[in-house]
Amino acid sequence: MQSLGSPGRHRVTGAERVGPYTLLRLERGRLDPGAPGQFFMLEAPGRLLPRPFSLCLAPAGELAFLVDPVGPGTEALCGLGPGDEIRVLGPLGRGYRLDVERPLLVGGGIGIAPLPYLAEQLGSSPPVLLGFRSSEHAEAATLLPAAEVVIDPVLVTELIEPGHDILACGPEPMLEAVAALCSTAQLAWEAPMACGYGACYGCVVEIDGVLKRLCLEGPVLDAARVRTHAEVAA
């Protein structure tokens, strides 16, 4: 993790539409791309708080993030163009462990974001399953051309076969379904986050049966760790 100080300014080198998403490319500067599944806090122009994004791609000299315009902050980020500058802090949190024997990457919707960089770091072209809610959203699968793709109402979990080390990212219902299929899965979670480094106490989720800060414990967690109070009590 980088030492925590004022986040440096990074120039936008490109912003490409990928289905409904935008792939935002930034000059890397001195930032370390970190481990797949770690995240960066990106300044959202005109907004008070930065937004967390896992790294999607790490081309030479660049860092690229996949942005889903779901609110004013992400919409402002999608509106950036070459030459604009934003502040970037990271890499933060804990990413995926790469010491797996039979990796299977599973993504749902914008949960595809960390998988291209993860696949690259794992090497030897791991199998990838992607699920999207529409064919427009599924255009994001161009980021992982070898992936098997399903579109709602078919669920990505219907394609999972046993015997894999699953590394997944996607909406909570998908992660919960993956956890039910595979207790050793590594799952990347999401939570509203103001700081990304443990200061705001905003991003808690139930981990090991108690509320813990996702930015410090995760965002990638072993499936067995995400348990509710009731599950732990039982």
Partner 1 sequence: MRILNASGCLDALAAPEVARQLDAFVTKTVTPLPREGNAPPRIAETAHGMLNAIGLANPGRQRFLGEHLPRLGELGIPLWVSVGGFCADDYAETCAALEGIEVVELNLSCPNVDEAADSAAEIVAACRRATDLPLYAKLSAAHPDVAEVARAVAASGADGLSLVNTLRAFALDRRLRPVLARGSGGLSGPALKPVALHAVSVCHEATGLPIVGMGGIETGRDALEFAACGARDVALGTVLFADPGAPARVRSELEAACSEAGVANSDDARSLSKSPETEQKVPA
Quickly count: other Cβ atoms within 10 Å of residue 184's Cβ: 12
Nearer to partner 1, 142 or 201 (CB): 201
**Which of these segments, 53-61, 76-84, 128-136, 186-194, binds partner 1 (CB under 8 A)?**
186-194
**Which of these segments, 27-35, 157-165, 176-184, 188-196, binds partner 1 (CB under 8 A)?**
188-196
Tell me the CB-side half-sphere exposure of residue 4, using CA atoms within 13 A.
8
Contact between 194 and partner 1 per CB under 8 A: yes
Q: Are 74 and 131 in contact (CB under 8 A)?
A: no
- The interface with partner 1 within residues 48-87 (CB under 8 A) comprises 48-50, 73, 87
**Which of these segments, 123-131, 138-146, 167-175, 201-209, binds partner 1 (CB under 8 A)?**
201-209
Quickly count: other Cβ atoms within 10 Å of residue 173's Cβ: 11
Contact between 216 and partner 1 per CB under 8 A: yes
Burial 135-172 (b: 16+ CB within 10 A, else e): eebbebbebbeebebbbeeeebbebbeeebbbbbbbee
Contact between 18 and partner 1 per CB under 8 A: no
- List residues near partner 1 by CB under 8 A: 3-7, 41, 43, 47-50, 73, 87, 89, 191-195, 197-205, 210-211, 216
